[in-house]
Amino acid sequence: MVGAAVSQLGGLDYAFNNAGINNLGANEYDDAVWARSLAVNLTGVMLCMREESEVMLARGGGAIVNTASINGLVGNGAQPGYCATKHGVVGLTRHGALRWAKAGIRVNAVCPGVIETPMTAPLTADPEMKKVLDSMTPMGRMGRADEIAAAAVWLCSDAASFVTGHAMVIDGGATAV
């Protein structure tokens, strides 16, 4: 993926590692479910960072943004795999920030709360569940994907030139309580 981007675009200045799965209702202690969560949510981010950083090091800098979650900052009693892997993304983000700061690579994470995406669509199809999800934030609504994208764009921009190692919470106030 990184090689294709470099080949088509001539380089790589910014990267947004935005992958994740959420195994709602699954037993995340099941070996196969746990392994898939780890592979997609954490190992996938590490592999992307490894390849992206090599290109950025050769170019003299860049910015990487990883998608974690508020579940990477607080506990979640229902989803051990999701919670553990998103905590791992925050830790991996901080590691990258420390490792590559002097080389001019900034590494940050966005930590969304409940966001309207295809991942939450099965839940929001039920009007009662949609009300529950909306009520999970002090703002009284779920977030939108464009709100997360705007934060990622800002973290990649020169406006965030002194920001690295940050886990930016975008959750409508859910973690403020």
User: What positions carry a catalytic annotation?
Assistant: 82
Q: Amino acid letter at 134? A: D
Question: If you write DSSP's letter for every residue of 39-68 in order, what string do you get?
Answer: IIIIIHHHHHHHHHHHHHHHHT-EEEEEE-
Which phi and psi angles does 27 have, rounded to 5°?
-80, 100
Residue type, 78: A
CA distances for 34 relative to 5, 16, 25, 84, 91, angstroms: 30, 24, 13, 10, 19
Residue 136 in contact with residue 113, Cβ under 8 Å? yes
